[in-house]
């Protein structure tokens, strides 16, 4: 069994999402000492490029699938795409920890999403034109930090500066590629709390994460 931890904060020990994710991983490891835990730190590990060539190959992949083929060769930027998709596919469970940056996610996490959302690899289109996710049977635990607090729900124009494109976006992409069991722990107001109150909040969220890991 393999747990893949995708870490999207660059702030190491200072990061709220990484600290709570570490509490999750520590509790998970204690419960499942024989499981493999792979950490993909998005600000540390350079992701494969996905630019003009990758975009062109994505179009070729779609054409090949429409013509009944099995997908294009793993050459050039597409080879990097396939490597990242294989890393995700090889995991039995996924933990994703991320800060909110400008109401959404840090750019390396978007880069990662642009790599792994691929036709014929992580989703397909059925005969009725409906999208079908191919990353199935894995639970996903989100651990999300934000400086402010945000009402739960789909972003509405009326939410103004309290509009959250982080959790709804990540859950949307996850559902699109096939995840059904999606759990979330939110750490809010990290920028608004004084140090003692923040420490108290983080201790509570770490305890929640350890409990969540027990049933993951
Ligand atoms: C570049 C940047 C942009 C940010 N944008 C927002 C934001 O739009 N909304 C918010 O509530 N907090 C924002 N914050 C605050 C972070 O979400 C907050 O510090 C959070 O704890 C970061 O997660 P981390 O501690 O795991 O790194 C931003 C922080 C940075 C560095």
- Distance CA(129)–CA(122), nearest Å, equals 16
pLDDT exceeds 90 at position 144: yes
The residue whose CB lies within 8 Å of the most ligand 1 atoms, and thus the one to mutate among 9, 20, 103, 147, is 147
Cβ(40)–Cβ(7) under 8 Å?
A: yes
| DSSP 8-state class, residue 130 | -
Q: What is the pLDDT averaged over residues 147-151?
A: 93
Phi, psi of 23 (to 5 degrees): -65, -40
- Distance CA(168)–CA(165), nearest Å, equals 6
The band of 154, judged by pLDDT with boundaries at 50, 70 and 90, is: confident
- List C-alpha distances in Å: 165 to 103, 128, 152: 5, 30, 11
* Ligand 1 atom closest to 102 (CA): 8
Q: Can you give the pLDDT at residue 162? A: 86
pLDDT tens digits for range 49-65? 999 999 999 999 999 99
Q: Can you give the pLDDT at residue 152? A: 81
- Two tokens, residue 4: 């893949």
Q: What does pLDDT average to over the chain?
A: 96
The CATH number assigned to the domain holding 162 equals 3.40.50.360
Q: What is the pLDDT averaged over residues 177-186?
A: 98
| DSSP bridge partners of 4 | 38, 94
- Distance CA(178)–CA(176), nearest Å, equals 6
Q: How many domains does the chain have?
A: 1
Calculate how far, in angstroms, residue 101's C-alpha sits from the geometric centre of ligand 1.
Answer: 5
The residue whose CB lies within 8 Å of the most ligand 1 atoms, and thus the one to mutate among 191, 199, 209, is 191
pTM surpassing 0.95? yes
| β-strands 131-133, 123-125 pairing | antiparallel
Alpha helix positions (H), the chain: 16-31, 52-66, 76-89, 107-116, 167-176, 195-214
- The boundaries of the domain holding residue 83 are 2-214
Q: What is the pLDDT averaged over residues 145-154?
A: 90
* Ligand 1 atom closest to 17 (CA): 26
The residue whose CB lies within 8 Å of the most ligand 1 atoms, and thus the one to mutate among 146, 160, 192, is 146
């Amino acid at each position: 069994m393999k747990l893949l931890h995708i870490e999207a904060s660059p702030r190491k020990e200072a990061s709220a999402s990484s600290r709570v994710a570490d509490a999750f991983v520590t509790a998970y490891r204690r419960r499942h000492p024989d499981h493999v835990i792979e950490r993909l730190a998005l600000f540390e590990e350079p992701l494969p490029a996905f630019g003009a060539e990758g975009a062109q190959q994505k179009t070729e992949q779609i054409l090949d699938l429409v013509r009944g083929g099995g997908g294009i060769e793993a050459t050039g930027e597409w080879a990097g795409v396939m490597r990242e998709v294989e890393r995700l596919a090889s995991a039995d469970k996924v933990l994703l920890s991320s800060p909110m940056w400008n109401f959404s996610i840090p750019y390396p996490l978007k880069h990662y999403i642009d790599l792994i959302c691929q036709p014929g690899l992580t989703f397909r289109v059925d005969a009725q034109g409906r999208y079908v996710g191919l990353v199935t049977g894995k639970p996903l635990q989100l651990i999300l930090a934000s400086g402010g607090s945000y009402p739960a729900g789909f972003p509405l124009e009326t939410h103004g500066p309290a509009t959250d494109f982080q959790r709804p976006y990540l859950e949307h992409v996850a559902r699109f590629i096939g995840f059904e069991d999606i759990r979330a722990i939110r750490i809010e107001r990290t920028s608004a709390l004084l140090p003692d109150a923040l420490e108290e909040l983080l201790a509570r969220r770490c305890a929640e994460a350890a409990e969540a890991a027990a049933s993951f």
